[in-house]
Amino acid sequence: MNHSTEVRTIMMDKEISTIAVMTSGGDSPGMNAALRAVVRGANRYNLTIWGIYRGYQGLIEDKFVELDSEKVSNIVQRGGTILKSARSKDFRTEGGRAQAALNLKNKGIDAMVVIGGDGTFKGANLLSKEYGIRVIGIPATIDNDIIGTDETIGYDTALNTAIEAIDKIRDTADAHERMFLVEVMGRDAGFIALETGIAVGAELSLLPEELTSISDIKAQLKNMLKEQKRSSLVVVAEGDETGGALKLAEKIKDDFTKYDLRVCILGHVQRGGSPSARDRVLASRLGASAIKVLMEGHNEVMVGVVNNSLKITPLRVAVAKKKGLDFGLIELAKMLR
């Protein structure tokens, strides 16, 4: 057994008394609710718990704060994350991860709970394999593209934010006979665009997962306009191959001169705001469950909810591929155009 393997084995066998928690990657509504549940779950086991500011970058820079029940009171309703978040190029280097592991060791931390998406999980898995830090992942991303859970924390809130905004856009589109191209978030995943499109009655939803040529888009819109609709609304995922709503507008504007063609990019408004009841409950369940499975001896896993039951998924599986869209919903969207 070499030295690094020996150190890792000792750390993995050590009884857990002190843990750390952080939020990382893109923020999502409900992260604070998950953080609150992690802290209060840790209190039940009499664990010391440290919060890490600004994700992996803060871990490298030794930005720790000790947490207790009082410090996470009155945050369940707040969007964003009180621990802040950041992306870290330094953590991608061996030196950065070595410094992160040293900081954890100096604080006597035996395990980490990480709240974020696939990038966050990849970092946690690497830290565990290289330095023996036990890790549990909680899926929090508005993209909803993590396998092993029906929904990720923040998705429901982002979806409702987009729907509320587009309902208002539909009103003005109808009043002025306008065609609106509304861009929603989803660089690699079309969950928000697909379900928003169904919920608002969009004439068309463009998704990263489905290749749609400009000629097909024009043809579909022209067929819909023959039905004498007073307005037309297209939901575009930011990662669609057309290049997003602005580029799509440039490509089709000359074919739809009858309509006042407008573009609306919802952008980061979808990340903010008070989390929905659904996200608060999901985040609370997953936060408490993360502590429970950690104390049961699990490591390098993600907690999720599938069919309303807790599901444990190895992190290596959770990051291996993106969750696919529901084919039935895709067909439903097409039928309801």
Cα distance between residue 143 and residue 140, in whole Å: 9
Cα Dmax for the chain: 75
List Cβ neighbours of 6 (8 Å cut-off, separation of 6 or more). Answer: none
Neighbouring C-beta atoms of residue 8, cutoff 10 Å: 18
Neighbouring C-beta atoms of residue 301, cutoff 10 Å: 24
How open is the CA angle 115-117-120, to the nearest 5 degrees?
70
Check if 143 is active-site: yes
Q: Which two tokens stand for residue 179?
A: 């065609």
CA distances from residue 250 to 197, 226, 233, 256 in whole angstroms, order as listed: 22, 22, 16, 11
Say which amino acid occupies 143. Answer: D
Q: Which of the residues 110, 143, 145, 279 is marked catalytic?
A: 143
List Cβ neighbours of 276 (8 Å cut-off, separation of 6 or more). Answer: 29, 156, 157, 160
Contact present, 49 and 42 (Cβ < 8 Å):
yes
Say which amino acid occupies 45. Answer: Y
E-only strand ranges, the chain = 18-23, 48-52, 64-67, 111-116, 134-139, 178-184, 204-206, 232-237, 260-265, 301-306, 309-314
Cα distance between residue 143 and residue 185, in whole Å: 8
Q: Which residues pair with 49 in a beta bridge?
A: 19, 67
Indicate which residues carry an active-site annotation.
143
